[in-house]
Structure 1
Amino acid sequence: MVSTITLNDGSKIPIIAFGTWTAGHGQIVTDRVEQALDTGFDHIDTAQSYGNEEETGKAIRESGLKRTQIYVTTKFSGRKDVETSIKDSLKYLGLEYVDLYLVHHPRLANGDIPGLWKKMEKIKADGLAKSIGVSNFGLEDLKILYEHAKVLPVVNQIYFNPYSYKQQLDAHAFGISHGIVTEAYSALDPITRRPGGPVDRPLAVISRRHNVTPEQVLLAWVRQKHAVAVTYSSKKERLEGYLDSLELELLPDEIAALDYAGAKKWWLSTSTIAKRVVPVLAMSALGLGVSYYTGNDIRLSA
């Protein structure tokens, strides 16, 4: 079993997850989730809005693993009310409960974060989710929630990597001081979507020093920020490398170098901008803004 972090409700969450956001749809999703489980991942992260909960559930059932051996996260994405949404998700996943249920974005509260959170607390009380949390919440959102919550969120899943760290630091620090674990999605963006920037050089130096891949360095950076990484690959050897990153310990000066480089402003290449704009336009067609998937106040340039 992968190493875990103990959450504020006493449950334990694996510190690295396989996410299905970019896995697609159909049998390919089932195949890739099965591959991740076979490789050793025991935390699967999906969402109502990804449209592949059913395929994910099929992979879980076909894995042969006991329910208690797999940690499953899904998210309320606002298509229906909270109670109907969780029941739909459980039906698609073929599960009686999920380990973690998240509010996908604060905008889903329609200005009433306390009201929405009260409904999330009922989901937990009814046993439909073992733990509840949030995603894409900024500092002010967290403060409002903290002031009114009877049950604290266990995590805040946000866009988190060296390029967003400076902008997310307040929310991350608030989480640390109040027992809310940060989950990092798009942790590998400096390699996959934003190559050519200031982080490239320290990433290369650190990788050579430890004889590891840049991906492993970034995942170690996330872990040493006391955060959970949500990542993805279609290649088994890369998934194995991601799990191997759990053995890597970066030096304080290496973490500082990545932080410093990530805080620098720079312009994205045309090809990288195109890769980011296309999905944003697609989301806009569905009535969703950029920050729906990139977090609060995260700009295209760091």
Structure 2
Amino acid sequence: MAETLTIESTVKLNSGYEIPRFGFGVAYGYGKVEDPLELTVPGVLEAFKVGYRHIDSAQLYRNEREVGQALRKSGIKREDVYITSKVPEDGDPTASIDASLAAFQFEYIDLYLIHSPPPGKETRLKLWRALLEAKKLGKIRSAGVSNYNIHHLEEIREAGLEIPSVNQIELQPFCQQKPIVEYCRKHDIAVEAYCPIIRGKMDDPVIVDIAKKHNKEPAQVLLRWSLQHGLIPLVRSSNPARILSNSQVYDFALDEDDMKRLDALDCGDEGAISWNPIHVQ
């Protein structure tokens, strides 16, 4: 029997705020010379059109300004959309948050993350304390991290500091990072999954077979797997048809055998397709 089709549309964070279960990533401008406005604004508008209310950005992506423009152009109220951004590992967190607020033209940011763990425990804790101070000042509502391993999270806990609300890591069937996920669940840290559809590399026979079984796209199977594991997947596309199809994952369920077959694809760190800097010391 397939498990229930009902999946809560939001997740209650340890900060008290709720985050939409499904997110739209906008990493278009990263590492590119051209103005990401050409892709970001129409992409975000299309995402809003089909129902996304959670946008994941970062200073490194160079498109916070465009995300803010898209929201204002959409006519959707600011309080009805959840916005995430991130401070670079080598950035000044106070200046970064202020710059993000100015770029978005927002009074607050729903979630601000440390983009990746910088080398050195004290450097990491300094960054984290700065995010907590911004949270006290009302500049951000929830503070979190990205690409943090267990030892990074333990540093925060052992220092007696407020634990992150979110840890955003690469998560897909070939790279399941199970120990990190288990730790986060134990300590009430929500887990966001980036690269959930393996950047389009979905031709594995198991994924294709399950997709055929349910008459769904491979990407939809991967996103459903993520949702049924209680994760918060972040998808990214500039193709309107793909933006829509990626959101259509609530009308079917993977059964126990499907989940077991996908779970068995785990290759540990070797299955990562992104940078996955979880071993920084």
More divergent stretch after superposition (41-50 vs 143-152): 143-152
Aligned equivalents of 2:116, 2:156: Cα separation in 1? 13
Aligned equivalents of 1:20, 1:147: Cα separation in 2? 34
Asked whether 1:296 is paired with 2:278, we answer yes
Relative to structure 1, the CA distance from residue 129 to residue 247 in structure 2 (aligned partners, 3 Å threshold; closer, same or farther) is farther
- More relative contact order, 1 or 2 (CA 8 Å, 6+ apart): 2
Contact 1:77–1:108 (8 Å) recurs in 2 = no
Other structure's SS at 2:169 match: strand
Relative to structure 1, the CA distance from residue 252 to residue 267 in structure 2 (aligned partners, 3 Å threshold; closer, same or farther) is closer
User: Which amino acid in the other structure matches residue 222 of structure 1?
Assistant: S
Identify the residue that residue 187 of structure 2 maps to in structure 1.
Answer: 178
Which of these residues, 158, 172, 192, is aligned with residue 161 of structure 1?
Answer: 172
Identify the residue that residue 265 of structure 2 maps to in structure 1.
Answer: 261
Relative to structure 1, the CA distance from residue 43 to residue 208 in structure 2 (aligned partners, 3 Å threshold; closer, same or farther) is same
Aligned equivalents of 1:177, 1:253: Cα separation in 2? 26
Which of these residues, 124, 129, 132, is aligned with residue 113 of structure 1?
Answer: 124
Identify the residue that residue 20 of structure 2 maps to in structure 1.
Answer: 14
Pairwise CA distance, 1:173:
0.6
Pairwise CA distance, 1:238:
1.7
Other structure's SS at 2:86 match: strand
Identify the residue that residue 33 of structure 2 maps to in structure 1.
Answer: none
Pairwise CA distance, 1:251:
1.4
Contact 1:203–1:217 (8 Å) recurs in 2 = yes
Could you list the per-position Cα deviations for residues 123-154 of structure 1 after superposition, in whole angstroms to 9, with x for gaps in the alignment?
A: 11000111110000011111112222532211
Q: Within 5 A, what are the aligned runs for 1:37-186?
A: 37-78=48-89, 80-107=91-118, 111-165=122-176, 168-186=177-195
Q: How many residues align?
A: 268
Q: Which runs of 4+ in 1 moved over 4 A?
A: 108-111, 264-268
Identify the residue that residue 34 of structure 1 maps to in structure 2.
Answer: 45
Contact 2:39–2:238 (8 Å) recurs in 1 = no
Q: Within 5 A, what are the aligned runs for 1:177-196?
A: 177-189=186-198, 192=200, 194-196=201-203
User: Which amino acid in the other structure matches residue 103 of structure 2?
Assistant: Y
Could you list the per-position Cα deviations for residues 186-227 of structure 1 after superposition, in whole angstroms to 9, with x for gaps in the alignment?
A: 0111x61x455xxx1221121122111111110011111111
RMSD (Å) for aligned C-alpha atoms: 2.4
Aligned equivalents of 1:162, 1:104: Cα separation in 2? 22
TM-score, with normalisation over the residues of structure 2?
Answer: 0.88
Other structure's SS at 1:21 match: coil
Other structure's SS at 2:19 match: strand
Structure 1 unaligned segments of length 5 or more: list them: 269-275, 277-289
TM-score, with normalisation over the residues of structure 1?
Answer: 0.82
Pairwise CA distance, 1:71:
0.4
